[in-house]
């Protein structure tokens, strides 16, 4: 019965339609990101790319840098030393020790005597990054907040660029910085260098140009304090605080933008286990935030047109991930029941679609690397590793999306988003 159903004309037609969707959707979106990022460069980046220093500011308002820390003893001194070397003249640093079990608290106590700009807060137990950021906000004396992670190295001019954007656009409630990968000693590390340029950077350029961002980069971002307070602060229940707050700020009619000059050097996983855990957490947190946004923004009042594009893209991409898993599984089950061996669908990609999709992906990667080359002069060297990205990352991203979205559907609403120390790669 099962074999007859799977071999039926109807099932074959459905599989054929799913195959077209599975390979057609990334092709269309790739050109969408290419067009958007090139337009962004032409309109906003082209005339600023030649600058080697940030523009002169009319005045320099006090900026509060929030640094939530959990078990950061290995990199905290380096992070703080780089942060204290910032070019911006008027800022304070508020480090929040979120119940660390290592020597993070002791190191902060030592550093507070070394750096007059530094103030610290100790939370008795780990309550999550959102709670730590809220504690930092209530201590902040500045009207502008810059948030970085405890292992991030902030570029000396990053704060200047972020403040410049706030001063030139009063509608901006939040800004995403431009994270760059520090650790590149393995294939996974090299792949992520290309990913942040050809995927992440292009998406942020496109979304920023079209008016909304799915998320700021939580490792380096900035907010107006008033926008965060109007949005209801960071939510302790949010797994990914950056996605959740970004959506809620935009729901309050604040704009959110991308500043590629606000560089920050970060550590990323370089093991498959670490990468998988990170991507599942990102997927679950993003799904949780979008599901909540659907309930709170779209269902409780008229559809927010400014977020409609983000909402549509998220759910279509989620359907795409589930479609790939269902299509691939059904195809192999059918082959197995017909007496064949389990295999990846011939060459995995349909003949001519494989060539077109692969060529489009390489073009997108090359354009992304070229756009970011002004921030990393030797970035084009990563192009040689980009060809492995579909084989490694598309599988990880697809499966993590399915797992993360499913987890988000069944996640208790009052469960707090506490954190653990992530895989920070090989250094």
In whole numbers, what is the pLDDT of the chain averaged over residues? 82
Average pLDDT over residues 121-145: 91
Ramachandran area for residue 413 (φ above 0: left; ψ -120 to 50: alpha; else beta): alpha
Question: How confident is the model at residue 94, as a pLDDT?
Answer: 95
Token duo for residue 58: 């009319």
Weakest mean pLDDT among 207-221, 364-378, 412-426: 412-426
Band the pLDDT of 331: cuts 50, 70, 90: confident
Question: How confident is the model at residue 50, as a pLDDT?
Answer: 43
Pairing outcome for strands 255-266 and 172-181: parallel
Weakest mean pLDDT among 206-210, 254-258, 341-345: 341-345
Q: Is the pLDDT of residue 244 over 60?
A: yes
- Using CA atoms, how far apart are residues 29 and 129, in angstroms rounded to an integer? 32
Give the CA distances from residue 125 to residues 98, 112, 219, in Å, rounded to whole numbers and listed in that order.
6, 21, 22
**3-state class (DSSP) for residue 115:** coil
Question: How confident is the model at residue 345, as a pLDDT?
Answer: 46
- Using CA atoms, how far apart are residues 292 and 295, in angstroms rounded to an integer? 5
Average pLDDT over residues 114-119: 92
Average pLDDT over residues 232-260: 89
**DSSP state, residue 197:** I
Asked whether 291 and 247 are in contact (CB, 8 A), the reply is no
pLDDT > 90 fraction of the chain, expressed in percent and rounded: 27
Q: Is the pLDDT of residue 330 over 60?
A: yes
Tell me the pLDDT tens digit for each residue of 391-426. 666 778 888 888 888 888 888 766 666 666 665 655
Q: Is the pLDDT of residue 28 over 50?
A: yes
Question: How confident is the model at residue 95, as a pLDDT?
Answer: 92
- Using CA atoms, how far apart are residues 45 and 39, in angstroms rounded to an integer? 9
Question: How confident is the model at residue 388, as a pLDDT?
Answer: 66
Domains of the chain, residue spans? 1-50+169-412
Tell me the pLDDT tens digit for each residue of 268-301. 777 778 878 888 888 888 888 888 877 766 665 5
Q: Is the pLDDT of residue 226 over 70?
A: yes
- Using CA atoms, how far apart are residues 122 and 116, in angstroms rounded to an integer? 18
Beta strands in 70-212 (DSSP E): 91-98, 118-123, 144-148, 153-154, 172-181
Token duo for residue 194: 């290309």
Average pLDDT over residues 61-75: 91
Token duo for residue 334: 């059918």
Average pLDDT over residues 378-385: 69
Average pLDDT over residues 325-343: 68
Q: Is the pLDDT of residue 250 over 50?
A: yes
Q: Is the pLDDT of residue 135 over 90?
A: yes
Q: Is the pLDDT of residue 347 over 50?
A: no
Asked whether 149 and 266 are in contact (CB, 8 A), the reply is yes
Band the pLDDT of 350: cuts 50, 70, 90: low
């Amino acid at each position: 019965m099962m074999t007859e159903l799977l071999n039926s004309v109807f099932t074959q037609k459905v599989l054929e339609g799913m195959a077209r969707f599975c390979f057609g959707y990334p092709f269309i979106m790739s050109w969408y990101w290419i067009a958007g990022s090139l337009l962004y460069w032409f309109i906003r980046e082209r005339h600023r790319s030649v600058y080697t220093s940030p523009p002169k500011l009319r005045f320099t308002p006090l900026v509060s840098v929030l640094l939530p820390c959990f078990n950061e003893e290995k990199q905290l001194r380096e992070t703080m030393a780089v942060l204290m070397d910032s070019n911006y003249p008027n800022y304070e640093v508020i480090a929040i020790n979120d119940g660390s079990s290592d020597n993070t608290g002791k190191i902060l106590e030592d550093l507070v005597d070394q750096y007059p700009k530094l103030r610290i807060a100790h939370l008795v137990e780990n309550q999550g990054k959102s709670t730590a950021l809220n504690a930092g906000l209530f201590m902040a004396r500045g009207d502008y907040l810059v948030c970085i992670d405890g292992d991030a190295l902030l570029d000396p001019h990053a704060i200047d660029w972020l403040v410049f954007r706030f001063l030139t656009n009063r509608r901006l409630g939040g800004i995403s910085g431009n994270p760059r990968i520090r650790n590149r000693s393995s294939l996974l590390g090299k792949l992520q260098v290309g990913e942040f340029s050809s995927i992440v950077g292009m998406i942020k350029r496109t979304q920023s140009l079209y008016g909304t961002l799915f998320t700021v980069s939580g490792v380096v971002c900035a907010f107006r304090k008033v926008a965060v307070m109007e949005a209801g602060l960071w939510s302790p229940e949010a797994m990914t605080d950056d996605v959740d707050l970004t959506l809620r700020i935009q729901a309050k009619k604040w704009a959110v933008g991308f500043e590629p000059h606000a560089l920050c050097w970060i550590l990323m996983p370089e093991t498959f286990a670490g990468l998988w855990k990170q991507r599942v957490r990102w997927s679950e947190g993003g799904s949780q935030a979008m599901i909540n946004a659907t309930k709170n923004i779209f269902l409780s009042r008229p559809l927010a047109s400014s977020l409609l594009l983000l909402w549509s893209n998220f759910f279509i991409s989620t359907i795409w991930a589930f479609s790939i898993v269902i299509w691939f599984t059904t195809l192999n089950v059918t082959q197995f029941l017909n007496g064949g061996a389990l295999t990846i669908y011939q060459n995995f990609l349909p003949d001519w679609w494989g060539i077109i999709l692969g060529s489009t992906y390489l073009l997108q990667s090359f354009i992304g690397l070229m756009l970011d080359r002004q921030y990393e002069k030797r970035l084009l060297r990563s192009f040689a590793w980009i060809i492995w990205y579909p084989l490694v990352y598309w599988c990880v991203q697809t499966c993590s999306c399915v797992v993360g979205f499913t987890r988000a559907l069944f996640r208790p609403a009052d469960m707090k988003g506490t954190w653990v120390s992530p895989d920070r790669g090989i250094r």
